[in-house]
Amino acid sequence: MKRRWLTGPAVLVAFAAVAQPTPNPGLRLDDPDYGQAPYEEIVTKALLPGRVSFEAFCPTVAAQGAYSTCVGFACGYFLRTILEAKTRNLTQKAAIAQLAFSPGYLYEKAKTTTDYACDQGVYLTKAFAVLRDAGAVPASAFPYPACSQQTGPVDALAARYRIAAYERLSGPRDDDAQKTYRFKKALAGGSPVVVGLVVPASFFSAKKTWKPTPTDSPTDPRLTGHALCVVGYDDRRYGGAFRVVNSFGKTWGDGGFCWIRYGDLARFTRYAFAVSAPSPSIRQLKQTGRGRCRPLHFATARVVKSIRSSATASPVSAHRATFRISGSDPTNSRYPPSTRT
């Protein structure tokens, strides 16, 4: 039987058609590589704006259904699409739908070899390594769900949309205030934040805000892991709160979005990542003569001094470089001639 691929708005119909019974989040906890991920030491605190929002660049809220693919949605569908929409300055939902990235591709690249039904979940560190090393593909080229589909036919396309670098936003000794500052700093710097948190039962019935109950505890061993994309913050909302978008469909929260107070998100978060902009190496700077790449519209260009292990310090691979690497373009996207400006 000939396979039919969905494109543009039809992809949104496909996402909406995914049944959403009891959500099965899908973040794997006890990540063995989290402590080795790039990490920025903050020596002095900068003054941050009181409000940041990327919601205008966000794709239409979608539902992961019964699959354990929250990481694919948080990192691929939401974070990577927002970065691309910001780069192209797109705010119309129809236009964003045309470029929205596949949650299924990222999940397939990051999952274990024994996960045939998208039910085992993945680690956030693995997902961000995939974004850096393999990239992402539009959902029109790799529709969701995509359990056990071969990624090979679209790997070359994915390489156009690799990110340059990423960083973790929390350390083992960080308290809630330090986590909050790091999350806000990354958002103010221009990148959405993906958090991996443990979620109690109250989270699944969140409305405009999620407020944990007095008995909810992040140390409860029964809690499961879930990934969310943080798309902004506002110091004046609810005494200071983060704006998140979820992959449980529009019936969750406020049309799929929710406000979570600073302290509550920090308290239940175990892992957090953002896309970062590294300093280009001398070798990379020599490759600027063949074409150019549109820079990401960062509020401020951030050159991150990271603590990197030898396993994660590899620079962006450059084969047939047709772009200019800039400290303000963490997406490192390669654009075909038809999309250059």
Residue scoring higher pLDDT (285 or 148): 148
Number of Cβ within a 10 Å radius of residue 149? 16
Number of domains in the chain: 1
pLDDT value of residue 290: 39
pLDDT band, very low/low/confident/very high, at 24 (cuts 50, 70, 90): confident
Nearest Cα residue to 160 out of 288, 340, 331, 338: 331
**Residue 232's CATH number:** 3.90.70.10
pLDDT value of residue 46: 87
Domain that holds residue 277: 51-339
User: Does some domain include residue 31?
Assistant: no
User: Does some domain include residue 222?
Assistant: yes
User: Does some domain include residue 30?
Assistant: no
pLDDT tens digit sequence for 195-212: 999 999 999 999 999 999
CA distance 49 to 21: 39
pLDDT tens digit sequence for 96-143: 999 999 999 999 999 999 999 999 999 999 999 999 999 999 999 999
pTM across the whole model: 0.79
CA distance 136 to 154: 9
User: Does some domain include residue 318?
Assistant: yes
Three-state SS at 16? helix
Cβ atoms of 69 and 26 closer than 8 Å: yes
User: Does some domain include residue 107?
Assistant: yes
Exposed, middle or buried: residue 235 (CB in 10 Å: 0-12, 13-18, 19+)?
middle
Backbone angles phi, psi at 259, to 5 degrees: -100, 135
pLDDT value of residue 291: 38
Exposed, middle or buried: residue 209 (CB in 10 Å: 0-12, 13-18, 19+)?
middle
Supply the angle between the helices 103-110 and 124-133 in degrees, to the nearest 10: 110
Number of Cβ within a 10 Å radius of residue 284? 18
Residues 6 or more apart whose Cβ sits within 8 Å of residue 279? 303, 327
pLDDT tens digit sequence for 243-254: 999 999 999 999
User: Does some domain include residue 176?
Assistant: yes
Going by the DSSP 8-state scheme, the letter that residue 296 receives in this structure is P
pLDDT value of residue 317: 37
Give the C-alpha distances (Å, rounded to integers) separating 143 from 107, 173, 206, 209. 12, 40, 28, 31
User: Does some domain include residue 5?
Assistant: no
Find the mean pLDDT for residues 170-188: 94
Give the pair of three-digit tokens for residue 300. Answer: 């401020």
User: Does some domain include residue 141?
Assistant: yes
Cβ atoms of 273 and 37 closer than 8 Å: yes
Going by the DSSP 8-state scheme, the letter that residue 3 receives in this structure is P
